[in-house]
Amino acid sequence: MKISMKFFATLFIIMASTLYTKADIAPGTLTGIVTDKKDGTPIIGATVSVPDLKTGTVTDANGRYTLSHVSKGIYVVQFSYVGYSSFTQRVDFAKTTELNAKLQASSIEAGEVIITGVSRATEPRRSPIPMAAVGKTFINERAGAGNIIDAIANLPGVSAVTTGPNVSKPFIRGLGYNRVVTLMDGIRQEGQQWGDEHGIEVDQNSVDRVEVIKGPASLTYGSDAIGGVVNLISPQPVPDGTISGSVMSVYGTNQGLFNNSLRVQGHKNGLVWGLSRRLKMLKHIKTNTMAGYMPRALKSVMHA
């Protein structure tokens, strides 16, 4: 009888602890309305995102939004819309369930960029280390580059050492190789350190955003980051209940380059999925050798 009482008492404590833990870490929900600061009209299609969690949504016809399945904690929430200055607010999702935002119309001032390449989301003007961030538009304008490092090599303080059209290593203010850390969604890319012929093993079409820390970041990323960090970021999940896709095709006159990319993403009740496919092709290359021509280069990559 004593054993049974101890068993039931232990079982009760375990169940109570489990319920308390589940209640404590249950995902939070944030709702609100986004309006024009001048006249108070709702803004339709404004983007509401949580950069740290890579989640977000858009406002409906009434300017209202709902962020669901958000882990409780303190995160930066960003509100943005074309023609308006971005608005950011640090929110405690364990205590706050409603947040309204008023955006200021602006045709000149660009919205502040949220940097996610550090330990948590930070505004560049609040960071003691110089940072730079570029989006998908910047990358698409340089889609003819052989790889993603060449696409950002013209940023101030950033350069690349190349050994061919597809092999490039990032250099930040003169430091490179094992003194610059390259990340893909926070995961270190180690392949480029093995030799001059090893480049960054990342598909340039799968990168949606690039963030560069131009200075020491060893406390966060280890001693290798004494020169800086290049953080390559994939697209954020689409809003819940939607499926979206994009197709891109680039042609280069040099050697008849074709660079085709297909991307599809979806989000349903917290289940986020994505699929991308790339096909890269070159024409035959005429040479002065006895063979006369080099065979066509063909590369196909698929990511899920």
Q: Taking the model in full, what pTM does it have? A: 0.67
pLDDT at 20: 40
Task: Name 233's bridge partners.
Answer: 209
Structure tokens at 191: 């392949």
Percentage above 70 pLDDT, the chain? 74
d(CA 114, CA 78): 8
Distance CA 95, CA 285 (A): 63
Residue positions counted in the chain: 304
**For residue 280, what are the contacts with CB-CB under 8 A and spacing of at least 6?**
257, 258, 259, 260, 297, 298, 299, 300, 301
Residue bearing the bigger pLDDT, 95 or 121: 95
Give the Cα separation of 160 and 196 in Å (integer): 12
Which residue is it, tokens 């024009």? 36
Alpha-carbon torsion 37, 41, 45, 50, what sign? positive
DSSP 159-223: EEEESSSS-EEEEETTEEGGGEEEEETTEE--GGGG-TT------GGG--EEEEE-S--HHHH-G
Intra-chain end-to-end CA distance of the chain, in Å: 56
| Cross-strand partners of 242 | 267
Q: Is 277:302 a contact under the CB 8 Å cutoff?
A: yes
Position 250 scores a pLDDT of: 78
Of the candidates 140, 176, 178, 138, the residue with the CA atom closest to the CA atom of residue 158:
176
Q: Find the range with the poorest average confidence among 69-73, 96-100, 123-127, 143-147.
A: 123-127
Instruction: Name, of 78-87, 136-145, 164-173, 268-277, the range with top average pLDDT.
Output: 78-87
Cβ contact 261:278 at 8 Å: yes
Q: Tokens for 184?
A: 């893909």
> How far is residue 68's CA from residue 57's CA, in Å, rounded to a whole number?
9
Cβ–Cβ < 8 Å for 106, 59? no
* Per-residue pLDDT, 33: 93
Residue 77 near residue 121, CB atoms below 8 Å: no
How large is the greatest C-alpha to C-alpha distance in the chain, in angstroms? Answer: 94
Query: Can you say whether the dihedral through the CA atoms of 41, 42, 46, 48 is positive or negative?
Result: positive
195: exposed, middle or buried (Cβ count in 10 Å: 0-12, 13-18, 19+): exposed
Nearest to 301 by CA among 217, 235, 179, 207: 207
Residue type, 222: G
The DSSP symbol for 270 reads T
Phi, psi of 243 (to 5 degrees): -130, 130
Task: Give the confidence band of 15 by pLDDT, cuts at 50, 70, 90.
Answer: low
pLDDT tens digits, residue range 293-302? Answer: 555 555 544 5
CB 34: neighbour CB atoms within 10 A? 26
Residue 65 — pLDDT band, cuts 50, 70, 90?
very high
